Structure formats: C-alpha cells, structure tokens
Structure 1
Amino acid sequence: MSAQPIEPNPPDPFGVMSDNRLAVRTMIDRLGLPAPTIVARPEAVHITLADVDDLGRWMHALGGEVRRGIEISGASLWTLHTQTPVRADGSTVQIRAHVPVVSGEDVLAELRPVGDREPTPAPSAVTL
C-alpha cells in the first residue's frame, strides 16, 4: 500500500473574511483608530471613515498610499491603501480606508496624492 499526497482544501472565503476582520479589529482596538464601518472581504478589509482627519490618523499609524477617485457631484472618494503590521505567522491583511472629501475641503498635504501636492516654493532672495 502506498500513500498518496492529499491536496489541501482551498481556503474557505468565509473563514478568510472572519480571520481578516478579527486581525483588523484587534489592530484598531490596539491603536485606537476610528472605524465606524468595517466590511471584511477575502482580499482586503474596507473601513469607511466619517472625516478626512480620521484618514490622517490612519496614515500616521500605518503609512500607505492615498488614492483619490473622480469627483462626482462636488465630492470624491479618497482611499488609503495600507495593511496590518506583520502577524505572528508572517502574513498581513490588506486594508482600504475610505472617506468622502467635498471639493475644496482642507486636506493635510501628507494625505494628498503625489500629483495633487502643491510644489514647495523655493526660498526667495532677500535684498537689503
């Protein structure tokens, strides 16, 4: 009698979503980050924020890249692409933190996508 290798079952999407939700919820509680709405998916956990300043707190805590969606009806959706810190098993969970931003609202320069940032003016020469 010979043993045949058994292929592992594919990951259960509901188990992956539950694991992702737990990992992100634990991180949110540890870091004290705002998260009014959490939607877990197998590929990422989506957080919907209420204020652009909350997005700044997420960016400061986890880093990442902010992307701005197209403007529709005077507002656009800004999304921080980040991830949890590395877990004990070496994995991370992708996080997408979303916030609507009304056109013309003040936004920290660090949150603005690279193409949207104002160039830093060169120091001017002072003549006496």
Structure 2
Amino acid sequence: MTIETIVRPLSERPTFQAAQQQRRDNELQFEVTANVLDLPTGSYRAEADAVHVFATDIDVLAAWLYEKRGHVTTHDTGYGVTVWTLHTTAGADPGVVGCRVLVSVPLVSGEPVMQEIRDVVMELQFAVAIGADERKWMRFRAREGAVACAESYGLGVDYVREVLVDAS
C-alpha cells in the first residue's frame, strides 16, 4: 500500500470556515432527508465531502436503498468481516440531489443478506464486467445495455468507464 501526498497551494485549499459550512450543509441535507422520508440514521458523521452512516443492522442500508436507490459495494476486511456500503445521495424531494451519503454496515463474512441487496451488487458487477470486455457485450445485446444497468443504480457513464479502466 502506497500513500500519496498531494500538496496544493493555499489559494486552492478550502478555508476552514468554508469546509465547516459545507459540513453543516451536508448534515442539514442528511437530517432533512432522513426526517422527511423517515429513514434510520444509525450513527452518522457529516464531513465536507459526504455524510458517513455507520450501522450494525443491514435493515438500515436496505431502507436507504429502497427509498434513495444507489449502488452497493462490498469490501472483505480479511478478518472474517465484510463491509457493505451503499453509495447514494441526500434529497427528500423528487429531482433534488443533495450531498453524498455512504451507509456502511459490517457483517460477518458469509452472513445471509437480503436478496434485493445482493442483486444490486451482482447486477453492478455484471454490468461493469460486461463493459470491460467487448466480446461479452453481446450478452447485454450492446454496451449501452450494460451502461443502462449501471446507471439504474446511480452510476453514470463516466463512472463506468473509470471502473473499467481500473478493472483491466
């Protein structure tokens, strides 16, 4: 694992006050979304770039997935624990896109997970895998089908291309 240090000129760095204001804005967007849509909040931490929700119950992730859609990723920690993370956005009104919301739930590896959540992970992996190999696009009838599937889970074309570059 390598750590890369990026040094930016002071003129490009957000001021402390600007970062704190963005954090407060994100927290407000998150709280309004959770209250209006009656979503569980678990334990959360608002940052300038996103709101991180930490829960011990997969039902918290399922509730956010049902209401807000998004895509789910998994990460095996190597210690018998898999972290499931929903990548979505705040915003209680239709068409309103708020800050990024990351809902994470650690589960014992191999623990049963609702099929609806597993389907989101599998369809996303399938769409990305299909897009990574032009010979497999025919299974989706066209690359556009793979991209449409990924987009239905909140991933744009640019993200899919980014993932495909990393996957190859």
When the two structures are superposed, what TM-score results if normalisation uses the length of structure 2?
A: 0.57
Q: Percent identity?
A: 30
Q: 2:41 aligns with which of 35, 45, 65?
A: 35
Cα distance in 1 for residues equivalent to 2:59 and 2:111: 11
Q: SS where residue 76 of structure 2 aligns?
A: coil
Structure 1 residue runs without a partner (length 5+): 1-9, 117-128
Could you tell me which runs of 5 or more consecutive residues in structure 2 were left unpaired when the two chains were aligned: 1-13, 127-168
Q: Which has the higher strand share?
A: 1
Q: What is the alpha-carbon root mean square deviation over aligned residues? A: 2.0
Match of 1:77 among 83, 90, 93: 83
Structure 2 partner of 1:99 = 105
* Richer in helix (by share): 2
Q: Give, in whole Å, the separation in 2 of the partners of 1:91 and 1:104.
A: 34
Distance 2:116 2:30 in 1: 23
C-alpha distance in 2 between matches for 1:97 and 1:29? 16
Once the two structures are superposed, the pairs formed by residues 1-128 of structure 1 within 5 Å of their partners are: 12-85=18-91, 92-112=98-118, 113-114=121-122, 115=125
The 3-state SS of whatever aligns with 1:13 is: helix
How far 1:85 moved relative to its partner?
2.5
Cα deviation code 1:17-52 (max 9, x no counterpart): 001001101111111111121111111100111211
TM-score if structure 1 supplies the norm length? 0.73
Q: In the alignment, residue 108 of structure 1 is paired with which amino acid? A: M
Q: Which residue of the partner structure matches residue 137 of structure 2?
A: none
- Whether the aligned pair in 2 keeps the contact of 1:34 and 1:49 (CA below 8 Å) is no
The question of whether the paired residues in 2 share the 8 Å contact of 1:81 and 1:97 is answered with yes
Instruction: Judge conservation of contact 2:84–2:104 (CA < 8 Å) in 1.
Output: yes
